[in-house]
Amino acid sequence: MWQKLKKIKISKWISFFVFVLLIYALQDGFFKLKHWLTDEKSLPLTGLVLTGNREHVTEDMVRAVLAKQEDKLNFFTLKISEIQKQLEDKPWVYSASIRKHWPDTLKIHIVEQTIVASWNGKALLNRFGEIIDVVPTEQDEFIALSGDDKQSEDVLNTYLQLNQLLEPSHYRIAALYSDKRNATELELKNGISLNLGKEQKLERIQMFLNAFPRIVQKYDINIIKYVDLRYDTGLAIGWKETEKNKK
């Protein structure tokens, strides 16, 4: 009886020992697998597929961002949100979509900013009225918009509305300025400035379109400096200084 109990006790100890070894082996295997999966040398991301219509965002620019993540360029540990944020912080990047393709490729789709105007001569404006920290160049042919940075979206909307009204005519806007009171002055490509004030801007542009053809028939357009439309019943014309005026 004693020997029987002794055998049972030894058997239990052997089972316990085997169980402990099994747990240790599983734990050791887990940590080794985790280390292998998270080691950038084990599953490195070595391929880059860059898509999207790009004019200003280069592959070198994207690779420079990825280089900052060099010790994390592992298929499983790569922090996509960090790379996405760093790319979207670039002035010309509107959005970046990133996904991993097994086993070693990173696919990045870039959407560039759509620029519609220069802003205060020192930045650009995208189609949502957001200021882009890029200095315009002489080669850029964007409409020149100016105003308070907080009103950039309103200034853009004002331009779009006025331009839509002027578009059927042969008059084109070269520049538009809006002050803090939201008073608007625009310059046409023919050199004439239109002072619209704060209110009824569309109505005042329409007044200009109705009246100006008759003014052109009577006066030389080349000596007109500005047209002030801030009147309820009419408009005022300012003249350029000429040799005849000086006399």
Domains of the chain: 47-112 (3.10.20.310), 115-246 (3.40.50.11690)
Task: Kindly report, residue by residue over 161-179, the tens digit of the pLDDT.
Answer: 999 999 998 899 999 999 9
Mean model confidence pLDDT for the chain: 84
Query: Where does the pLDDT of residue 4 fall: very low under 50, low under 70, confident under 90, or very high at 90 and above?
Result: low
pLDDT value, residue 33 = 41
Compute φ and ψ for 42, nearest 5 degrees.
-85, -50
Grouping H, G, I as helix, E, B as strand and the rest as coil, residue 104 is coil
Q: How would you list the strands of the sheet with 105-112, edge to edge? A: 47-51, 105-112, 93-101
Residue 5 dihedral angles phi and psi, to the nearest 5°: -65, -35
Instruction: Identify the pLDDT of residue 13.
Output: 53
C-beta neighbour count of 204 within 10 angstroms: 22
Residue range 72-101: mean pLDDT, rounded: 89
Q: Quick one: pLDDT at residue 151?
A: 95
Whole-angstrom Cα distance, residue 69 to residue 88?
16
Q: What is the average per-residue pLDDT within 196-225?
A: 91
Residue in this structure with the two tokens 């959407």, named with its chain if needed: 111
Higher pLDDT, 11 or 232: 232
Identify the residue whose tokens are 């002794």. Answer: 6
Q: What are the strands, taking DSSP E only, across the chain? A: 47-51, 93-101, 105-112, 115-119, 123-126, 131-132, 143-146, 173-178, 184-188, 193-197, 224-228, 236-239
| Res. 233 pLDDT band, cuts 50 70 90 | confident
- Of the chain, the percentage scoring pLDDT greater than 90 comes to 58
| Average pLDDT score over residue span 73-91 | 88
Region for 159 from its dihedrals, namely left if φ exceeds 0, alpha if ψ lies in -120 to 50, beta otherwise? alpha
